[in-house]
Amino acid sequence: MVLMSALNNALRNIVNAEKRGKRQVLIRPCSKVVVKFLTVMQKNGYIGEFEIVDDKRNGKVVVNLNGRINKCGVISPRFDIKLDAIEKWVVNLLPARQFGHIVLTTSYGIMDHNEAREKGTGGKVLGFFY
Protein backbone atom coordinates (compact mmCIF):
# COMPACT_ATOMS: atom_id res chain seq x y z
CA MET A 1 0.00 0.00 0.00
CA VAL A 2 1.37 3.40 -0.98
CA LEU A 3 0.85 6.43 1.23
CA MET A 4 -0.51 9.29 -0.86
CA SER A 5 -0.95 12.04 1.72
CA ALA A 6 0.69 12.15 5.14
CA LEU A 7 -1.68 14.94 6.22
CA ASN A 8 -4.77 12.97 5.21
CA ASN A 9 -3.46 9.91 7.04
CA ALA A 10 -2.76 11.95 10.18
CA LEU A 11 -6.18 13.61 10.26
CA ARG A 12 -7.94 10.29 9.61
CA ASN A 13 -6.06 8.72 12.55
CA ILE A 14 -7.09 11.63 14.80
CA VAL A 15 -10.78 11.35 13.83
CA ASN A 16 -10.83 7.57 14.31
CA ALA A 17 -9.14 7.79 17.73
CA GLU A 18 -11.53 10.57 18.73
CA LYS A 19 -14.54 8.44 17.75
CA ARG A 20 -13.19 5.52 19.79
CA GLY A 21 -12.75 7.78 22.83
CA LYS A 22 -8.96 7.50 23.01
CA ARG A 23 -6.93 10.04 24.98
CA GLN A 24 -3.79 9.78 22.84
CA VAL A 25 -3.00 8.91 19.25
CA LEU A 26 0.28 8.06 17.51
CA ILE A 27 0.66 9.59 14.06
CA ARG A 28 3.29 8.38 11.64
CA PRO A 29 4.77 9.44 9.28
CA CYS A 30 5.15 13.06 10.25
CA SER A 31 5.94 16.04 8.03
CA LYS A 32 6.36 19.77 8.52
CA VAL A 33 2.87 20.37 7.12
CA VAL A 34 1.35 17.92 9.63
CA VAL A 35 3.14 19.66 12.53
CA LYS A 36 1.96 23.12 11.39
CA PHE A 37 -1.62 21.84 10.95
CA LEU A 38 -1.53 20.37 14.47
CA THR A 39 -0.17 23.69 15.78
CA VAL A 40 -3.18 25.52 14.30
CA MET A 41 -5.52 22.95 15.87
CA GLN A 42 -3.79 23.32 19.24
CA LYS A 43 -3.89 27.12 19.07
CA ASN A 44 -7.68 26.95 18.63
CA GLY A 45 -8.06 24.44 21.50
CA TYR A 46 -9.14 21.38 19.54
CA ILE A 47 -6.24 19.18 20.68
CA GLY A 48 -3.95 19.19 23.69
CA GLU A 49 -0.18 19.01 23.70
CA PHE A 50 1.67 17.01 21.08
CA GLU A 51 5.18 15.62 21.12
CA ILE A 52 7.37 14.96 18.11
CA VAL A 53 9.37 11.72 18.38
CA ASP A 54 12.42 11.64 16.11
CA ASP A 55 13.15 8.07 15.04
CA LYS A 56 15.78 9.03 12.39
CA ARG A 57 13.26 8.22 9.65
CA ASN A 58 10.05 10.09 8.96
CA GLY A 59 9.27 10.80 12.61
CA LYS A 60 6.23 10.25 14.78
CA VAL A 61 3.89 12.55 16.67
CA VAL A 62 2.03 11.65 19.86
CA VAL A 63 -1.09 13.84 20.17
CA ASN A 64 -3.13 14.26 23.36
CA LEU A 65 -6.82 14.51 22.50
CA ASN A 66 -9.37 16.45 24.52
CA GLY A 67 -12.62 15.31 22.84
CA ARG A 68 -13.46 18.49 20.91
CA ILE A 69 -12.94 17.26 17.34
CA ASN A 70 -16.06 16.20 15.46
CA LYS A 71 -14.52 16.01 12.00
CA CYS A 72 -11.37 17.06 10.23
CA GLY A 73 -10.22 16.44 6.72
CA VAL A 74 -8.00 17.38 3.81
CA ILE A 75 -9.13 19.23 0.69
CA SER A 76 -7.41 17.70 -2.30
CA PRO A 77 -6.40 19.20 -4.70
CA ARG A 78 -5.19 22.29 -2.86
CA PHE A 79 -7.44 24.88 -4.46
CA ASP A 80 -6.41 28.53 -4.66
CA ILE A 81 -8.57 30.82 -2.53
CA LYS A 82 -8.65 34.58 -2.93
CA LEU A 83 -9.45 36.80 0.02
CA ASP A 84 -13.01 37.50 -1.11
CA ALA A 85 -13.70 33.78 -1.79
CA ILE A 86 -12.87 32.65 1.77
CA GLU A 87 -16.47 33.26 2.89
CA LYS A 88 -17.81 30.97 0.14
CA TRP A 89 -15.51 28.16 1.28
CA VAL A 90 -16.54 28.69 4.92
CA VAL A 91 -20.21 28.31 3.95
CA ASN A 92 -19.52 25.18 1.89
CA LEU A 93 -17.22 23.34 4.31
CA LEU A 94 -18.16 24.29 7.87
CA PRO A 95 -21.44 23.41 9.61
CA ALA A 96 -22.02 26.90 11.08
CA ARG A 97 -20.58 30.38 10.73
CA GLN A 98 -19.00 30.61 14.20
CA PHE A 99 -17.95 26.97 14.33
CA GLY A 100 -14.83 25.35 12.88
CA HIS A 101 -11.80 26.48 10.94
CA ILE A 102 -10.39 26.16 7.43
CA VAL A 103 -6.60 25.86 7.28
CA LEU A 104 -4.80 27.69 4.47
CA THR A 105 -1.20 27.78 3.37
CA THR A 106 -0.25 31.34 2.51
CA SER A 107 2.91 33.27 1.83
CA TYR A 108 2.86 34.14 5.57
CA GLY A 109 2.79 30.47 6.59
CA ILE A 110 0.07 27.98 7.51
CA MET A 111 -2.88 29.60 9.32
CA ASP A 112 -6.65 29.38 9.72
CA HIS A 113 -9.10 31.42 7.67
CA ASN A 114 -9.71 34.03 10.39
CA GLU A 115 -6.02 34.86 10.66
CA ALA A 116 -5.74 35.01 6.86
CA ARG A 117 -8.63 37.50 6.77
CA GLU A 118 -6.91 39.67 9.39
CA LYS A 119 -3.65 39.66 7.40
CA GLY A 120 -5.56 40.31 4.18
CA THR A 121 -4.20 37.38 2.22
CA GLY A 122 -5.48 34.37 0.33
CA GLY A 123 -3.72 31.09 -0.32
CA LYS A 124 -4.20 27.41 -0.98
CA VAL A 125 -6.67 25.43 1.11
CA LEU A 126 -5.14 22.52 3.09
CA GLY A 127 -8.06 21.24 5.12
CA PHE A 128 -10.65 21.92 7.80
CA PHE A 129 -11.58 20.92 11.33
CA TYR A 130 -14.56 21.39 13.63
- The predicted-structure confidence for 27-86, as pLDDT tens digits, reads as follows 998 999 999 999 999 999 999 999 999 988 889 999 999 999 999 999 999 999 999 999
Q: What element of type H or E holds 128?
A: strand 123-129
Overall size of the chain counted in residues? 130
Q: How far is CA 24 from the centre of its chain?
A: 17
Q: Which pLDDT score, from 0 to 100, does residue 97 have?
A: 81
Percent pLDDT > 70 in the chain is 99
Asked whether 43 and 68 are in contact (CB, 8 A), the reply is: no
